[in-house]
Chain A
Amino acid sequence: MLFLSMLPFILLISAYLVYSNARLAANPGDKLLPSPATLASTIHHYAFEEDERSGDILLWTDTAASLKRILTALGISAFLGVAIGLAIGVIPYVRATLASFIAALSLIPPLAILPILFIVAGLGELAKVLLIIIGVAPVVVRDLALRTAELPAEQMIKAQTLGASTWQLTIRVVMPQMWPRLIDALRLSLGSAWLFLIASEAIASTEGLGYRIFLVRRYLAMDVILPYVAWITLLAFGMDALLRIVRAKAFRWA
């Protein structure tokens, strides 16, 4: 089974090697499909050697900057998701006030208001984090509001017959059942979170994984872009796997 699941990856890498070889045989200066040796030396340069100009090891500086942005944004989105989503799900007045507003908000294409963010929040960290939050938080809020509303009415009535107030109902019955759903919502949002991160870094930044890719694009530096893309994919996969494991371990009932 492991072999079968690895098969597509092996095929993809083999195809790359074959085509890279063929192109380099025709033109040793070809930049589109760099050889494994070129990739290895570039990776070594970016991941283990200090940059001559800044003195930083670029891959790690970029990774740290990007992770800080995306984790901050996901953390804030998770907080907003629980706070607002639960309030919409549990309190009818809040639902009546906010539900359609959040629904409308979530349909604004975040990239379309990126210029507004840069104008209002400046070109610093704030605008980038805000873009991710604007892209991710409404989806998490809506998801948790829907999941809350899906809890069987019987459970709520039962809790009331056990003496629960609205507050107790929220913290003892609803909220504990929302944690695994929050993790699911975050896992599903990871893809768009990375998309918004790279978009904002591409436009205005001085460091970050997305910044680097777009910086070296003008030199056709595929030997940098390809390892960076693979690294970003690996990071996203790692975050997804981590969330999956936390969910399985911490919420055995779900």
Chain B
Amino acid sequence: MTQITVKRLWKEYEGQVVLENVNLSVGDHEFVTIVGASGCGKTTFLRMLLGVEIPTRGELLIDGQNLPQEPGPDRGIVFQRYSLFPHLTVLDNLLLGLELSGSRVLGRLLGARRRAAIAKADRLLDAVGLDAARSKYPAQLSGGMQQRLSIAQSVICEPKILLLDEPFGALDPGVTADMHELILKLWNMNKMTIFMVTHDLKESFHLGTRLLVFDKVRVDSQAPDRFGATITYNIPLKGHRSIQTVDAACIVNKTENDGQNLPQHLLPMQ
């Protein structure tokens, strides 16, 4: 069981308010997708969950405990790029998480424990379809294969929470569809909670059980940094749509028609 609670969370950098008054409650095994305009603090929010940014005010709780202030094995991350270790083969990239937690001093597993780790990695390699590429280096893989590996690498440690920062943003549309299938499969296999920042509204509706829209509620044109963004829409998806005042499909259609990816015309709820 993983319960994430965010209470009156603020993030400021030297007079620039990035996020203000963020409140959120996310239950076990949810798939939370996060959308919003560029620079509205989606990634900052994700980085706070990761533990590399510290909230200025407010609380970030996992199962009632304060979130540790540095990244740890309970929270996996997949970035858009640079998530892989270029000096390790596909198999070794996958083994790294098991080796680091299994051997504090050497960071390497030997003998029977290594064989057990390889067996576990093999099953995952199979699941993500990288078995044939096991002894290649990341530079020899396509972008889609690299992201598959990066996701598998995070999942092998069985984190309670998986954070995805625009993981498919740099991929071809055809590849993205495969990736969606893969991430849903792993999400169901591992029963983890996923937070995914994306620019693609359609993707966010397709994958998520809950959609968060980040936007500024208050704007002062004289002092654009004075007010930060917050969660303006918190939409439960997958059968919960009826309770919403917004017709989710309508948002998608509208943005598709005027060629925009982002719900900029969505005015915050007054």
Q: Is B42 an interface residue (CB 8 A)?
A: no
Contact bitstring B95-120, A, C-beta under 8 A = 1, else 0: 01101110011111000000000000
Q: Is B219 an interface residue (CB 8 A)?
A: no
Known: A168-B107, A252-B137, A253-B139. A160 touches B85 (CB 8 A): no
Q: Is A165 an interface residue (CB 8 A)?
A: yes
Q: Do B70 and A160 touch (CB < 8 A)?
A: yes
Number of B residues whose C-beta is below 8 Å from A?
Answer: 35
Q: Is A161 an interface residue (CB 8 A)?
A: yes
Bound form: Cα–Cα A167–B100 in Å: 10
Report the tally of A-B residue pairs with Cβ distances under 8 A. 80
Residues of B within 8 A of A159 (CB): 85, 96, 100
Pick the contact of B159 from A161, A164, A167, A171 — CB < 8 Å?
A: A161
Q: Do B73 and A162 touch (CB < 8 A)?
A: yes
The DSSP consensus for interface residues of chain B is loop
Known: A154-B79, A253-B139. A163 touches B157 (CB 8 A): yes
Bound form: Cα–Cα A253–B139 in Å: 7
Q: Do B52 and A177 touch (CB < 8 A)?
A: no
Residues of A within 8 A of B157 (CB): 161-163
CB within 8 Å of B: which A140-175 residues: 152, 154-155, 157-165, 167-168, 171-173
Q: Do A162 and B97 touch (CB < 8 A)?
A: yes
Q: Do B87 and A165 touch (CB < 8 A)?
A: no
Q: Do A161 and B82 touch (CB < 8 A)?
A: no
Bound form: Cα–Cα A247–B12 in Å: 46
Q: Is B71 an interface residue (CB 8 A)?
A: yes
Residues of A within 8 A of B96 (CB): 159, 162, 172
CB within 8 Å of A: which B57-111 residues: 70-73, 75-77, 79, 81-83, 85-88, 96-97, 99-101, 104-108
Bound form: Cα–Cα A181–B260 in Å: 44
Report the minimum CB–CB distance from A150 to chain B (whole Å): 12
Q: Do A161 and B87 touch (CB < 8 A)?
A: no
Q: Do A155 and B87 touch (CB < 8 A)?
A: no
Pick the contact of A158 from B77, B86, B99, B108 — CB < 8 Å?
A: B77
Q: Is A254 an interface residue (CB 8 A)?
A: yes
Residues of A bordering B, CB below 8 Å: 152, 154-155, 157-165, 167-168, 171-173, 176-177, 251-254
The 5 A-B residue pairs with the shortest CB-CB distance in the complex, in nearest-first order: A162-B97, A160-B71, A152-B82, A154-B82, A163-B73
Known: A159-B100, A162-B101, A163-B157. 18 other contacts (CB 8 A): A152-B82, A155-B82, A155-B85, A157-B52, A158-B79, A158-B85, A160-B72, A161-B75, A161-B154, A162-B154, A163-B97, A165-B104, A168-B104, A171-B106, A176-B87, A177-B87, A251-B87, A253-B139
What are 20 residue pairs bridging A and B, where the CB atoms are less than 8 Å apart in the complex?
Answer: A152-B81, A155-B83, A157-B77, A158-B153, A158-B154, A161-B72, A162-B73, A162-B96, A162-B101, A163-B97, A163-B100, A163-B101, A167-B105, A171-B106, A171-B107, A177-B85, A177-B86, A252-B137, A253-B88, A254-B87
